[in-house]
Amino acid sequence: MNGQRRSVPSFLLLVFCLFALLLAALAVSLFWRVKGLSFEHWFELFNGKTDSLAAYTVWNVRLPRALLAMLLGAVLAVAGCLLQGMTRNDLADPEVIGVNQGASLFVVLGLLLFDTKDASLLILPSAFFGSFLGGIVVYLLSLQGRYTPVRLVLAGLAVSFFFGSLTTGLLLMHEATLSDILYWMAGKLSGANWTDIQIALFGLFPVVLLSWLFSSQLNVLALGDEMAGGLGQRVALIRRLAMLTASVLVGGAVALAGPIGFVGLMVPHMARLMAGPNYRLLIPLSILLGADLLLLSDLVGQMLFYPVETPVGIITALTGTPFFLYLMRRNKGGSV
């Protein structure tokens, strides 16, 4: 349907437009409603005087947050691409499939078991571990050929439900920490600092770029297991590697900002509508689109009930569900 080859110039134009959108969103998120910022001393921001409150807000509160949103958007979008390609399933997403809830469970468990002051050190490994655990379940499910998209979604849902119940159970037993953790679980970017950016930039972004190497393999895998095997692809190995990469990406994103769902679901589909099913173009486009989407969602989250912030995970979930429904209805045959 949308599988026609786009010409190179039109692809570049698309990339350019998305880039412009990203810059515009970045500008808004940097300068929107900064206290004490006005046109008169606009230029003070750029001449190195960082002692004013406005400059501090822009460069040390707004900028890290926007950068983190962009980086994690890209990370989640690429993870969604990998998951969808690997399971050959349109509806795969870290949220739908149980990876996010696995990470939440282990973070909550970690926070309750080890009562540390410096939570970020603890969150990172436990989120990784949890998302790996969730990922292993998905991997086991995707191995079996009889898993149609519907069954995979249902299975993922049951897995998430299980993890979710455990998490709520733990939370109920320790009401004191409840509100902090609840807020984290809704997915948020508000506390972003430069360490987070460093982790995301040097730890996760290389993995994002690496996953572009998978693109030709994913293209082959899209033909079906047997065809791919016949073409000489080591299907199981590719799946395992893709799953590993996706788990690293999602685990990192969850550790930094809490579970943010549906970015991985929406972005690859939008990218597919724009550029066709070729993963070679799909993955770079997803990086850009994901950055756009999460940055915009975070902006909406900040503006919606200003000055109270809405966690970005809720915004993405609320936009993601209609999208999910649209994907479902678009499939006319009812096979999905």
Partner 1 sequence: MRPQRMITRRRFWILFAAGLGLLLVFAALSLRFGAVFVSLEQLVEEWRKGQGIVFEYRLPRLLIAILVGMNMAVAGAVIQGVTRNPMAAPDLIGLNAGGGLVIAILLLMIPDFPAYTLPVASFCGAAAAGGLVFLLAYRKGSIAPTRLVLSGVAVGSGLQALITLLLVKYAPNAAQALVFLKGSLYARTWPHVGMIAPWTLAGIPLAFFFSRVLSMLQLGEESVRGLGLRVHLARLLLLALVVALAGSSVAVAGTIGFVGLIVPHLVKYLIGPDFRFVIPLSALFGALLLVTADMIGRVIMPPAEIPAGILTALIGAPYFLYLLILRR
Mutual angle of helices 149-173 and 119-143, in 10-degree steps: 150
- Nearest CB to partner 1, comparing residues 162 and 212: 162
Q: Quick one: which of 17, 50, 325, 330 contacts partner 1 (CB under 8 A)?
A: 325
- The answer to whether the CB of 297 falls within 8 A of the CB of 312 is yes
- Asked if 311 interacts with partner 1 (CB under 8 A), we say yes
Tell which residue, 275, 260, 203, has the closest CA to residue 76: 260
Q: Quick one: which of 1, 43, 173, 307 contacts partner 1 (CB under 8 A)?
A: 173
Q: Quick one: which of 11, 31, 162, 212 contacts partner 1 (CB under 8 A)?
A: 162
- The answer to whether the CB of 294 falls within 8 A of the CB of 80 is no
State which of positions 206-245 bind partner 1 (CB under 8 A).
none
- Nearest CB to partner 1, comparing residues 97 and 283: 97
- Asked if 261 interacts with partner 1 (CB under 8 A), we say yes
- The answer to whether the CB of 75 falls within 8 A of the CB of 64 is no
* DSSP-based three-state secondary structure for 305: strand
Q: Quick one: which of 70, 186, 189, 218 contacts partner 1 (CB under 8 A)?
A: 186
Using CB under 8 A as the binding criterion, the count of chain residues that bind partner 1 stands at 49
The least distance separating partner 1 from the CB of residue 18, rounded to whole angstroms, comes to 26
CA dihedral 19, 282, 71, 13 (to 10 degrees): 0
Give Cβ neighbours of residue 35 (< 8 Å, ≥ 6 apart): 53, 54, 57
12-20, 108-116, 145-153, 211-219 -> range binding partner 1 (CB under 8 A): 145-153
Q: Which residue's entry shows tokens 């998302």?
A: 131
R_g over Cα of the chain: 20
- Asked if 330 interacts with partner 1 (CB under 8 A), we say no
Interacting residues toward partner 1 by CB under 8 A: 91, 95-96, 137, 140-141, 150-151, 153-155, 157-159, 161-162, 165-166, 168-169, 171-173, 175, 178-179, 182-183, 185-186, 261, 305, 308, 310-311, 313-314, 317-318, 320-322, 324-325, 328-329, 334-336
